[in-house]
Amino acid sequence: MVSTPPAEGFPDARSRVLAWRALVLGSLAQAIVTIVVAGPAFLIPLLREKEAFSLATAGTAAASTSLGMVFTLVLWGAVADRRGERLALSAGLLACAAGTALGVVLAQAGALHRPLPLIGVLALAGAAGASVNSATGRVVAGWFPRSQRGTAMGARQMAQPLGTAVAAVLVPPLADAMGVLGFFLLTSGLCLVIGIACRLGIVDPPRPARTELPEPGAAEGGACGEAVSEAADCEPTGSPEPAFSSRPAADVNPYRADSFLLRIHAASALLVIPQFAFATFGLVWLMDSQGMAAATAGLVVGAAQLAGAGARFAMGRVSDLAPSRVVVLRIVAWSACVLSALVAAVSLGLLPVVAAIVFLLASAASVADNGLALTSIAEGAGYRWSGKAMGIQNTGQHALGAGVGPALGLLIAANGYPIAMLCVAAAPAAASFLVPRADVERS
């Protein structure tokens, strides 16, 4: 009997199946948690009109899911590193289902008409759902070979703008019909279903042997490498080796080796400013500055998120083909700067068609970097540190992103949209100078 040869880069057919299953389930989990995180931004019109929240207060509520994530991202990353991706992923999703179910109970009790209870329950849901950010990135990086990792990570990162697009379409009508209760009913059910599916369907990638880095100049050899101490043994070979590395993982802190990870973290934190700005205030900007109806503005925001999904996938593929991922990342940063500045310029007049096109392009550019940065983080951190490194990466992004809502709300109220969006454009310009000059890859 002739067996089907495995796909290029995969050690066997089983690895290929498990990799794609992990990518599909991980992407669905990421999309659903994105609805939890991004959905509150589409409650802003409801909170302003029916609950009499100020724009800054409503922006704070919209950012509270990101604020909750800040406190748990590194912890969930450590759980994924030590206990496995499936445990971290399923536990976080089921906890997020419980947190949003608490929102259902509080909404029915009439306890969410004040800012603090609403902010608290949204932050709790964000803290639980944070497991998805590290665990799904780690499981994709673990199963896919380097030649396909950027594309796979870009596909996984498509889930975030797609989730935001779904939220843009579903949350406003649910809010009109049921208030905040509709949002919590939707998200609690989705998190419960995908949490169970990930528990049943995700398989953790095999872990490479624990060893120290070889001395500089030492030759590599065999499965364990000739430079490895004789006291260090290879892991059992009953399961396929990780597709992304043929060397044992280095048990060393990558943050002490060089500044590569820190520079990616800093650049990514700045690049998230336009992403959060457009996700939080895009709907309101189209309504206030361009006179669009809420339904029309929601469709534009949804289309922008679909464009962003395509941009993430495309940049992931380009990074697999390009000589350097970080060069692609720098180009994306400059594109986000220029297009964000165009949003500021369009804010000066009433040009709804032009505004929709510019907003779509700027939103796509603002999210195109995420997959690139996470792939570089996974490669630069090495297998044993990738979960924590992705947690640190996302912590910086969400910590800064959590401040975008209230800060930009105050800036818009004080100076208007043109000045506020021009300030947003400065962030990716600064980020471009922080992007490292060359890629780093550790096993």
Question: Tell me, what's the pLDDT at 164?
Answer: 81
* Average pLDDT in the chain: 82
Q: How far apart are CA 367 and CA 166, in angstroms?
A: 16
For residue 229, the model assigns a pLDDT of: 34
Q: Higher confidence at residue 393 or residue 384? A: 393
Residue 216: per-residue pLDDT: 36
pLDDT per residue as tens digits for the range 94-124: 999 999 999 999 988 888 888 899 999 999 9
Q: Could you tell me the residue ranges of all domains in the chain?
A: 13-207+254-432
Beta bridge partners of 249: 210
Q: Would you state the structure tokens that stand for residue 246, as one six-digit string?
A: 């043929």
Using the 8-state DSSP alphabet, how is residue 250 labeled?
Answer: E
Which phi and psi angles does 118 have, rounded to 5°?
-65, -45
pLDDT in tens, 282-315: 888 999 889 898 778 888 988 887 888 888 888 8
> CA 275 to CA 43: how far, in whole Å?
18
State the pLDDT at residue 227.
Answer: 32
* pLDDT category of residue 70 using cuts at 50, 70 and 90: confident
Rounded Cα–Cα distance for residues 428 and 406 (Å)? 20
Q: Is residue 156 scored above 70 in pLDDT?
A: yes
pTM above 0.75, yes or no: no
Q: What is the pLDDT of residue 388?
A: 80
pLDDT for residue 237 is more than 70: no
Q: How far from the centroid of its chain's Cα atoms is residue 391's Cα?
A: 11
Question: What is the pLDDT averaged over residues 267-274?
Answer: 92
Distance between alpha carbon 351 and the CA centroid of its chain, in Å?
Answer: 32
pLDDT reported for residue 8: 60
pLDDT band, very low/low/confident/very high, at 271 (cuts 50, 70, 90): very high
Distance, CA of 179 to CA of 423 (rounded, Å):
33
Q: How far is the CA of 37 from the CAs of 93, 114, 127, 402, in angstroms?
A: 13, 19, 10, 11
In the prediction, which pLDDT does 35 show? 94
Residue 208 confidence (pLDDT):
62
Most confident of 27-36, 71-80, 387-396: 27-36
Contact (Cβ atoms closer than 8 angstroms) between residue 369 and residue 334: no
159 vs 208, higher pLDDT: 159
Sequence-ordered strand ranges (E) for 144-262: 210-211, 249-250
* pLDDT digits 0-9 by tens, 310-362: 888 888 888 888 888 899 999 999 999 999 999 999 999 888 899 999 999 99
Neighbours of 414 (CB within 10 A): 9
Average pLDDT of 361-377? 86
The architecture (CATH level 2) of 13-207+254-432 comes to Up-down Bundle (1.20)
